[in-house]
Amino acid sequence: MCRLFARNDIWCIPEMMLPGGRRADLMGVDAKGHIVIVEIKVARGDLLGDAKWPDYLNFCDRFFWGLSPDLDRACLEGENFLPDRCGVIVADGYDAEILRPAPLQKLAPARRKAQVERLARAAMRRRQVEIDSACAQWGGD
């Protein structure tokens, strides 16, 4: 999925903490400053049992389900999964394809600014910890 996003000038990081303690599987920013969240599912039970994903909609301009190619995605057409609000990406270990684009649902500017700043700080901290692991003891995403 990250390769797909990189080709489309969307840069993301995995496992991004959100306010309230939720953790987005992938969260990124496109060239226009819009925030994208992807919730990745590899098992049907995980997909059907996930009740927390609607919370993510308050922190992104576009939301995608990211699924493995063999996962039955028919349930994503049901109204419980908000198909008019959520895109669908199918990915394997090599690449990904958008099967249904996620419509733009613009965040309030103040919320977008706060989320972009959080993403930037998390990405910079992670990079610094890669360079110097002693820095891992300070801050946090």
Task: Average the pLDDT over 48-60 and give the result.
Answer: 93
CB atoms within 10 A of CB 77: 10
pLDDT in tens, 8-52: 999 999 999 999 889 999 999 999 999 999 999 999 999 999 888
Residue spans of alpha helices (H) in the chain: 2-7, 44-49, 109-131
Angle 121-127-131 (CA atoms, 0-180°, nearest 5)?
140
Q: What was the pLDDT predicted at 10?
A: 96
Output the furthest CA–CA distance in the chain (Å, rounded).
Answer: 48
What confidence category does residue 68 fall into, taking pLDDT thresholds of 50, 70 and 90?
Answer: very high
Q: What is the pLDDT of residue 141?
A: 64
CA separation for the pair 41, 86 (Å, rounded): 14
pTM higher than 0.85, yes or no? Answer: yes
| Mean pLDDT score of the chain | 94
Residue-level pLDDT at 116: 95
